[in-house]
Amino acid sequence: MYEMKKIVAVTLSVGLMLALTSCASQTSDNDASQATATLSASAGTKEAEQAVEQILSEDIHVNQIGYINTDEKIAVINGNYNSFKVVDASTDKVVLTKKLNGRIKDDSSGDSVCYADFSELTGKGRYYISVPELGKSYEFIIGDKDIYTGVSDAMLRALYLQRCGIVLDSKYAGEYIHSACHKALAKMYGDESKEIDVSGGWHDAGDYGRYSVPAAVTAADLLLAYEFCPESFTDSESIPESGNKVPDILDEAKYGIEWLLKMQDKASGGVYHKVTAMGFPDMTLMPDVDVDDLYVMPVSTTATADFAAVAAMAARIFKDIDGAFSRSCLNAALKAWGWLENNKGFVEFKNPADVLSGEYGDSSGSDEISWAAAELFRTTGEAKYGEYFNKNFESGGFGLGWQNVSGFAAIAYIFCDSDNIDIKKVEEIKKSWLEKADMFVSTAKKDGYLLAMHKMEYTWGSNMNVTNHAIHLLVADRLRNSEEYTAAVKNAAHYLSGRNTLSQCYITGFGAKQIMQPHHRPSVGDTVKQPVPGLVVGGPNSILDDDVSKAKLSGMAPAKCYIDDMSSYGTNEVATYWNSSAIFVFAYLNQER
């Protein structure tokens, strides 16, 4: 974990060099004082301190992707130290020396931290932080906004690499190729004599199931990201649709929505909950080799309402881009609403006893139906949808994940420009939305890593909580411009990029400390050493849902409950809707690129 770097500006005796080599293993336990003592036995104190400063320390936490030159730039230091240096990595020359400030006990990690604020450093280049008696950080870049272009593009392309039903060839997929998968007709569960074509869509996560509820949320994130930050997206992501004069983020959303259209029962308008095999395939099985029978599971309220909502969104956004697709989406959304009107009782989905794939169950469909009503109201302007929303929507939770979509509903309504809008309802929602945003800011100020996360939120998919809180803050900033909101958004990006208690970059293919073993079957089953790039992993999960995390993380602080192990689905799985929410956040950072 800790590597030796060439030491410049100091001539070491043979004995000191041997001591330095020994010191590297000692600092793996973060015991810098012991390392210094070992070195001091072989050389003078100053020489020893200079040597320690060249040892990589994961107690110096930085954004390993980089910092925008005009932004606030902070590293978080675990421990009680006095000063730090910023060093030009290309020359090993010190460019800034300052005192460390702030002393906070971080509740989520158990760390006692202080801060290295080097915001005044604006020169572009590659640097590292050095702390006497502790060591040096991973390297990072200071540059323009385009320093996040690579990671943003990779996260969007990762959704292309999750596509089902098409050939991923080297022209677009590079090394991450496979033949067309899951093209066979799927059987209706309970009536195997009936088969339908539901090819396409995205492999939802580390498995090959395709689920209507999270697919709708994934597409909604992409559409909202485009609505809020259209200038951040190009038509040149090197996917099959690139060059068609439509931003590739919309092409990707369309690919997912076209699959959802296939999941709608054409007679009733209801939407099937999912299509999967009866269980999960082996971890080493590539998608084109997975030929188990596929089963379409029954219609559910949540799948139908989420579909109606995202189809109405697509109808609005694609109206002047792809008229035929827009009309088909609107017709499908209206038909899905008809199903909801005809089935007022909650139609719940639960896995049958012989089905072991993901359930994506819910105990209520009220937030999903409110979302459908709000999107249909915003798209059509018809009063009946607004009336339903006004009567049934309650401000407060504002969820932006698959299990609670009330935040999507609120966004649709407060940004609607219909003459039939209820201004009092809009103001009520805005007030509650801003109150929650202020709560996130308050939480971030108390957090040692400047993150808008409570220690209880480090559960399955905690990185989605990080990004969804950031999305909430971006919407709040649109309602009431505030640097506190946008600073908290940037701190979420810093966290995902390595400025966290584990110094772990949570996006595959990026950072100095990279994810190497995601719970992701194509990454495990292919012949490529590096995992598929651009995938956001779930992150710390104090619930310890899998056997690996239970065995190796028991007793750890919530923010430390993560392990880079392919068998730890509770901490290291991927999901399209974790990517899509992160795409929204980094789109903000990439504006005007």
Instruction: Compute the distance between CA of residue 398 and CA of residue 389 in angstroms, rounded to an integer.
Output: 14
Looking at the predicted structure, is the pLDDT value of residue 17 above 70?
Answer: no
Q: Is 71 a catalytic residue?
A: no
Distances (CA, A) of 252 to 24, 129, 238, 287, 576: 46, 39, 12, 19, 11
Looking at the predicted structure, is the pLDDT value of residue 359 above 70?
Answer: yes
Q: How many residues does the chain have?
A: 593
Query: How is domain 148-259+281-341+357-509+570-589 classified at the CATH fold level?
Result: Glycosyltransferase (1.50.10)
- Residues 16/47, Cβ–Cβ less than 8 Å: yes
H runs (alpha helix) in 351-422 = 366-380, 383-392, 406-414
- Residues 542/558, Cβ–Cβ less than 8 Å: yes
What is the band of 48 on the pLDDT scale with cuts at 50, 70, 90?
low
Main-chain phi, psi angles of 560, to 5 degrees: -100, 0
Of these residues, 31, 564, 565, 592, which one is catalytic? 564
Residue (of 340, 349, 372, 198) closest to 277 by Cα position: 198
pLDDT digits (tens, 9 = 90+) for 204-256: 999 999 999 999 999 999 999 999 999 999 999 999 999 999 999 999 999 99
Domains 14-147 and 148-259+281-341+357-509+570-589 share a fold: no
- Please state, as a whole number, how many other Cβ atoms lie within 10 Å of the Cβ of residue 14: 8
Looking at the predicted structure, is the pLDDT value of residue 503 above 70?
Answer: yes
Looking at the predicted structure, is the pLDDT value of residue 37 above 60?
Answer: no
Q: What is the DSSP letter of 12?
A: P
Instruction: Compute the distance between CA of residue 97 and CA of residue 118 in angstroms, rounded to an integer.
Output: 9
Indicate the domain borders of the chain. Answer: 14-147, 148-259+281-341+357-509+570-589
Q: What is the pTM of this model?
A: 0.92
What pLDDT is attached to residue 564?
98
Q: Is 573 a catalytic residue?
A: yes
**Mean per-residue pLDDT for 423-433?**
97
Of these residues, 207, 241, 248, 573, which one is catalytic? 573
Looking at the predicted structure, is the pLDDT value of residue 553 above 50?
Answer: yes
User: How confident is the prediction for the chain on average, in pLDDT?
Assistant: 92
Instruction: Compute the distance between CA of residue 175 and CA of residue 463 in angstroms, rounded to an integer.
Output: 27
Higher pLDDT residue, 19 or 167?
167
CATH code that applies to domain 14-147: 2.60.40.10
Residue (of 316, 322, 327, 303) closest to 377 by Cα position: 316
What pLDDT is attached to residue 49?
65
| 135-136/60-61 β-pairing | unpaired
What pLDDT is attached to residue 53?
75
